[in-house]
Structure 1
């Protein structure tokens, strides 16, 4: 496909919002108040552009979120995040109890964000460039990915490390019919804490290194199997039923590395993810789906805050991001779909009126290996975080 913008995307290096600002849940955990309140909102305008056809734009209150934290004592806290999407849909995005065992370790249990990549944990609109989150974090991670579980989190100050490790329920792959598919891999399988089923426990973990000023490096992993309704009331002596149930699940080993660097208004950001998926041949035959046996993707983002050092709260942040992600990186028993190998460039700017209030505009060039050229889309947005 035509990749004429790639060189521009990789060489422009013109982005720079504050990289290491706390997300809302971190702010609530750090608060000394008995009851803490936070939230964020995202209001979007998306306009596809074409020289051949006229398209309606979409105006949307994409999400409106309220967050509450309650401190029972100096060790025990509760944090929850309640989200309204598109005005009419209601979700609980986080709801967890945090208990500080020692200065370096906390127990955490409830509905938890899976620590994978950057945006899944830092998904508030004032913490990322562009009107929309990176599409890699939509199709492969997939943001906002949260499940019910428990584990430990903490900070090893002497080693400049932050860690998280949780046992959680996994994606649902079958509930009367197959759920997972090639176009967006595991996205439709998120259980989101809503009457979740547990067939196989899964492990999620991440380590961040912050020992070099301005640099944050992350290594994350997720390992386990999907969940299936066919295991409910399964007679273990019924070999045929057990084989059907086994064909309705897949295994997932997903790893990720990410990096953020911020210095004198310059900011660089990158992320890479690879996932190996087992049992896809049997799963696709049983369900009629086209799930790939491997997924892969990365993005690079860079730029500069042009108002750096001007002594103002205003930040003007031009940026560029290049993404490539493939949900059919490998396949088993089916043909690769070239339209699942996407190649995208986003160029735009954000004007931060304050640290938690931003006006955004960008142009996206969206393509894949089945196309000769990019589709274009103009995005405008308002982002709030407090």
Structure 2
């Protein structure tokens, strides 16, 4: 507890040196930035810059008690060593009691629009994994497919390059990361698996915590900005999982992963839209399930489409955004061996509600979710959600 209080005091004391200017999320997706991009942009005079984002939520499943939660508070800290070299980190407090380092990397500017990076970084897959600050998306909760298909917040240790070609209207990222941890000895002569049917790869995230690595993975993304108001993204992630030394020679200890994603964001006047599609093919899941007694699917797939409209005039600082999102995600899109597809893992959410940006960097949210799955007779509770989000 004392360590956490000291850390908070130390970080906020630097605010007098260089605080990030508070602003609202740009409606035009071509101008949108996430926390790291804002700090690394070089527009702040001081060498040290600080900021934060956080979410306080209320979730009320139909017929059940509601839950109040300070879901996350993330402290942002950057330091500019010189005009070419910067450091960025995010320190996250989840549910008041858990502390994680979400990002921590060095960025070195080699030349115009070319950066080398190394450290704990976000895997560039889809939209939300990179743009998850609460004022950047509609809905109290992040899209569910960005929990079970893309395991947000997905970050690993690695090195790579990022930049932009203005002549081609393309942004690019390419990294080598350690992969998901798949298996470990259970201490009783058997093998435990971190991956499973209900949430796919999520349990295998290593998050930079004494990460084991055997075969590095490749992650890359291209963003296209050539049409006014439109931003298109194409992502890929290729490689194998990582097993610990004592089990890596077991048949089925590792699986192969080939994940592809397509995302789009568009803005025209007060109207905005976004959509995302992600598909992952997993190899050797039959052997993995036999070894670990898990039910991991051989294909994962999810998509959503969302439309939103600002009900207030465009020249007003405040925004009142009405939105509706349709989402389908299936962690048993296909299975291998004798494993039957679990229809309960084929899920659909329809979310509709309001995002009220009362000031730059502050949003009040409320929505209702109609939730179901493909399993006959299985009742999934609809949910009412409210939230407060800040980012500065």
After TM superposition, is the score higher than 0.5? yes
Match of 1:287 among 272, 288, 292: 292
Moved over 6 A (4+): none
Q: Is the 8 A contact 1:18 1:127 kept in 2?
A: no
- Look up the match of 1:191: 206
Q: Structure 1 pair 45/102, CA: closer, same or farther in 2 (3 Å)? A: same
Q: SS state of the match for residue 167, structure 2?
A: helix
Query: Over residues 359-379 of structure 1, what are the superposed CA-to-partner deviations in whole Å (9 max), with x where a residue is unaligned?
Result: 000001111001556521000
Question: Are 1:29 and 2:44 an aligned pair?
Answer: no
Q: 1:139: how far off?
A: 0.3
Match of 1:326 among 300, 324, 330: 330
- Look up the match of 1:158: 167
Q: Is the 8 A contact 1:84 1:91 kept in 2?
A: yes
Q: Structure 1 pair 78/364, CA: closer, same or farther in 2 (3 Å)? A: same
Gaps of 5+ in 2: 1-25, 186-191
Match of 2:372 among 347, 362, 367: 367
Q: Is the 8 A contact 1:225 1:251 kept in 2?
A: yes
- Look up the match of 1:90: 99
Give runs of aligned pairs for residues 71-82 of structure 1, distance below 5 A. 71-82=80-91
Q: 1:75: how far off?
A: 0.2
Q: Structure 1 pair 175/183, CA: closer, same or farther in 2 (3 Å)? A: same
Q: 1:133: how far off?
A: 0.2
**Could you tell me the TM-score, scaled by structure 1's length?**
0.90
Q: Is the 8 A contact 1:174 1:227 kept in 2?
A: yes
Q: How many residues align?
A: 356
Over the aligned positions, Cα root-mean-square deviation in angstroms equals 1.3
Q: 1:47: how far off?
A: 0.4
Match of 1:68 among 73, 77, 94: 77
Distance 1:371 1:247 in 2: 32
Q: 1:197: how far off?
A: 0.5
Query: Over residues 171-218 of structure 1, what are the superposed CA-to-partner deviations in whole Å (9 max), with x where a residue is unaligned?
Result: 001122111000000001000001100011000000000111100000
Q: Structure 1 pair 242/379, CA: closer, same or farther in 2 (3 Å)? A: closer
Q: Is the 8 A contact 1:17 1:317 kept in 2?
A: no
- Look up the match of 1:127: 136
Q: SS state of the match for residue 127, structure 1?
A: coil
**Could you tell me the TM-score, scaled by structure 2's length?**
0.89
Q: 1:312: how far off?
A: 1.8
Distance 1:23 1:38 in 2: 12
Gaps of 5+ in 1: 1-15, 233-240
